[in-house]
Structure 1
Amino acid sequence: MDCHVLQESLLSSASGYSNYRGILNWCVVMLVLCNARLFLENLIKYGILVDPIQVVSLFLKDPYNWPASCLIIETTGTFLYLVNLTTLLFFPSATVLTLTSITPVGGAFALCVYTVLFMKLYSYKDVNMWCREIRHTKARTLTPVHAHVSYPGNLTHRDIYYFVFAPTLCYELNFPRSPRIRKSFLLRRLFEMLFFIQLQIGLVQQWMVPTIQNSMKPFQDMDFSRMIERMLKLAVPNHLIWLIFFYWFFHSSMNFVAELMRFGDREFYQDWWNSETVTYFWSNWNIPVHKWCLRHFYKPLMGRGVNKWVAQTAIFLVSAFFHEYLVSVPLKMFRLWAFMGMMSQIPLAWFVGRFLRGNYGNAAVWISLIIGQPIAVLMYVHDFYVLHYVSQS
């Protein structure tokens, strides 16, 4: 019996407990109490400092405090921007080419709208990029000191929608604004718009359509004498309609929109009729497009060290592409001769500028306008007629 008690006492003194749950709980309680004391001491000393709004406002106020995030956003934004511009050009053209119900006139109008929007968004991106670069180098604004808006205060829906409808292709942070809308001026321009559009339609139906219809057989028979006679007969009404269209669009319509939006810059054209060189004509008959090409294409190329002649040739290439895009897609055909016809302006400009001066140069410009356009019209109409009617019969 004594041996049994002795054995139990030896076992109890040598017992190896492996469950220290109580000690672990004690440690947890002590840590909680210590940290609770520190938390309470911090709260009493500093108060509540947690403010999630402050972090968000700091990012919105100056996003360059977060360069890594800006890098991701800019890369993604550039990709989405390129996708958007590409879609603006190719989705409408694919729709016009696919749907047989779209007429050439309707297709050309739709593509013109999307092309203008493409150029506007390109300018919007460029100007804001320049502003951001200047801001990044500690300059606060791209505009003069007296400007009402500076970057990034211009990045609003109201601002971009005003630019979309404004009669210009070049974006500015602060457009010149007229003090009020002149109702009498607005009504005169509206009357001109309604009158001249009806006059153009009447001249096309009464004068041009019969001449074009009578020109199809000489073109099919390749009767060159009759082709030249038809071309010369078409030259007068075609040129008259072009002049009316120029006044209707660049003077009446654009001044109407400018007055309605109190848009102050009304330089839509200059005295292109006095052009003594082809280059002067292309620079002054369509000022909005000329300013866009100069600011967003020509000067950037020159800034990269590109030769002046190469830069001018590149502009003619882009111009030829868009002219062919706006005509060939609605007619659902592409003609290399039309593209090369636009590019022929380069040697023509060189020849007139090199060998002709004064009134001779001006006469050469007028001849190129009066003769060149009916040639293009007849060839386009002939190819459209052969492609869509003769080949299907």
Structure 2
Amino acid sequence: MTGTGDHEGLRLRRTKSVTRAEEIAKAEQMARKSQPDHPCHRPRDSLFSWSSGFDNFTGFVNWGFLLLGIGGVRLLLENFIKYGIRVDPRQWFLFLSGKNYDGNEYPSILLICFGAMYVCMLYALLFLKLWSYVQVNMWCRLSVKSKNTSHGGMRRQSFSYTDLLASEAKQNGSDSDETRHEIDGGGKALVQYPDNLNLSDLFYFMLAPTLCYELNFPRTQRIRKRFLIKRILEVVVGCQVVMSLFQQWMIPSVKNSLIPFSNMDVAKASERLLKLAIPNHLMWLCFFYLIFHSFFNLMGELLHFADRKFYCDWWNANNIDTFWRTWNLPVHRWAIRHLYLPVLEMGYSKSVASITVFFISAFFHEYLVSVPLKTFKIWAFIGMMGQIPLSILSKYVQKHWGDRWGNIVVWASLIIGQPLCIMMYYHDFVVTHFGDALLEDYSVV
């Protein structure tokens, strides 16, 4: 009888509801606290266990930044001890001018101001801007013609800028407020085609920090003087920082990587690659802030250009595809508006449109490197086309291991890919223009 009663009591306890079980647990806990031994233990998981639910690792993030900073300072001190102070503004002028060391070449004033790569970049920007200018005016002309002829069944030839932003908002997951435009502060009437076809409108577009032409850009009402001064100081100081990093840190690292890379010494070449990765990545980050935030905001403020969204949070990108959609919005908008959507309108698939965009981007990357170096190699082209399989890989990693690992793949590609491309082009440049004699000179260093 006693055994049966105990069994029935046990059965009744198992059938208690969850709420009743919690009440019993709380009652037991209160009873434990009232005991004279003052208990301090209760069922708990270790913080590093997934079941603990703990997710505040801010201290480790600070530790990582501090450790990275200490490592960077150590490398900087090593650089100063080994090479001394290499920063020389006079050499900056020679570098930007493209002047040869023998003194026989005197470049034009344009080359003195911009340098070979900057001139090529200027030509590329003019090409993209004029492409947009011509195509948008063609859309407007066809729209006016279709209205005049009343051909309701005419095939649609263009996409409005609102359609473009709505498409971007859908791709990037942003809110629909991106599709709204401000009316300029003066309350002026919107310019209609063909009243926009004048030199002042074209010159404004050539200077505006955008590659996509519009008849009516969103405008600000005034120039904020304090904001403008901050951006000017950032541009001036940023240029000095970038050039100093290049001259003091990158040039010695690139030169020292020549012999191991030429001899295919994998261990030493890998060590030089990792050593070059830190100053290169730091300079790339400074360059990004200098161009996409400081300089573009400076031009936008001077021109009353209201759309200041030149980049998104690319540092949080969980795959390569998201990175290329968010880190350079002026180029991305141009590619979507004038390449991707028109290719889709022609009846091709999204895959063909994406490959077309990457192909054109790869061409311009190769143009901006090979032409200034006066050597035709396809490393930049291959690197850009390689973003397609890398995008597939990063999405696979994101899907199976989570967003954090997808973001790590993005950062790894940026940190390692760029210095590898630099080492390859520098090696080919030296071999092409100076031959093996310079390799022997560098082997002594």
How far did 1:100 drift? 6.9
Corresponding position of 1:126: 135
Return closer, same or farther for 1:137/1:196 CA change in 2, 3 Å cut-off.
Answer: same
**Most deviating of 233-242 and 129-138:** 129-138
Q: Tell me the equivalent position of 2:119.
A: 110
Is 1:158 aligned with 2:167? no
State the shift of 1:342 in Å: 1.6
1:147 deviates by 4.9
The equivalent position to 2:325 in structure 1, one of 258, 262, 283, is 283
The 3-state SS of whatever aligns with 2:304 is coil
- Contact 1:147/1:174 (8 A) holds in 2: no
Matching residue of 2:403: 358
Residue equivalent to 1:376:
421
How far residue 101 of structure 1 moved from its aligned partner, in angstroms, is 5.9
Deviations 1:196-221 (A, max 9, x none): 11011111111111111111111222
Residue 255 of structure 1 is matched in structure 2 by: 297
Q: Structure 2 residue aligned with 1:235, among 253, 262, 277?
A: 277
Query: Which whole-Å CA distance do the structure 2 matches of 1:289 and 1:260 have between them?
Result: 21
Match of 1:294?
336
From the superposition, tell whether residues 147 and 294 of structure 1 become closer, same or farther in structure 2 (CA, over 3 Å).
farther
Larger Rg: 1
Helix, strand or coil for the counterpart of 2:195? coil
Q: Would the alpha carbon gap of residues 182 and 325 (structure 1) be closer, same or farther in structure 2, given more than 3 Å must change?
A: same
TM-score by length of 1: 0.72
**Number of the residue aligned with 1:245:** 287
Q: CA-atom RMSD, angstroms?
A: 2.4
Moved over 3 A (4+): 99-105, 142-147
Is contact 2:228–2:298 with CA below 8 Å preserved after alignment? yes
Q: Please tell me whether the aligned partners of residues 181 and 259 of structure 1 are also in contact (alpha carbons under 8 angstroms).
A: yes
Matched position secondary structure for 1:137? helix
Write the mapping of 1:322-333 to structure 2, written as runs, cut at 5 A: 322-333=364-375
Query: 1:90 corresponds to which residue?
Result: none
Q: Distance in 2 between matches of 1:149 and 1:162?
A: 14
2:229 to 173, 187, 198: 187
Letter in 1 for 2:351: W
Structure 1 unpaired stretches of 5+:
1-95
Deviation at 1:354, TM superposition (A): 2.4
1:338–1:167 Cα change, 3 Å: closer
Are 1:202 and 2:244 an aligned pair?
A: yes
Report the CA distance between 1:288 and its aligned residue: 0.3
Is this contact kept in 1: 2:218–2:307, CA < 8 A? yes
Aligned pair partner of 1:307 in 349, 356, 379: 349
Question: In the TM superposition, what whole-angstrom CA distance separates every residue of 1:80-116 from its partner, at most 9, and x where no partner exists?
Answer: xxxxxxxxxxxxxxxx9xx976689711100101110
CA distance in structure 1 between the partners assigned to 2:291 and 2:431 by the alignment: 32
Cα displacement string for residues 97-151 of structure 1 (whole angstroms, at most 9, x for unaligned residues): xx976689711100101110111111011111111111112279x7999852000
Contact 2:242 2:287 in 1 (8 A): yes
Distance 1:195 1:340 in 2: 34
The Cα of 1:247 is off from its aligned counterpart by 0.1
| Aligned AA (1:286) | N
Letter of the 2:256 counterpart: N
8 Å CA contact retained: 1:108, 1:330: yes
SS of the residue 2:291 aligns to: helix
Residue aligned with 1:177, SS: coil
- The structure carrying a bigger helix percent of its residues is 1
Q: Aligned partners of 1:258 and 1:291: how far apart in 2?
A: 17
Query: Hey, what does 1:33 align to over in structure 2?
Result: none
- Contact persistence 2:366–2:379 (CA under 8 A): no
Q: For the Cα contact (< 8 Å) 2:317–2:410, is it kept in 1?
A: yes
Cα distance change of structure 1 residues 377 and 100 upon mapping to structure 2, 3 Å threshold: farther
Q: Which runs of 5+ in 2 are unaligned?
A: 1-97, 99-103, 151-159, 162-180, 439-445
| Residue 235 (structure 1) shift | 0.4
The alignment-based identity, stated in percent, is 50
Q: CA deviation at 1:328?
A: 0.5
Q: Does 1:385 align with 2:427?
A: no
Higher normalized contact order (CA 8 Å, seq sep 6+, divided by chain length): 1
1:391 shift after superposition = 5.3
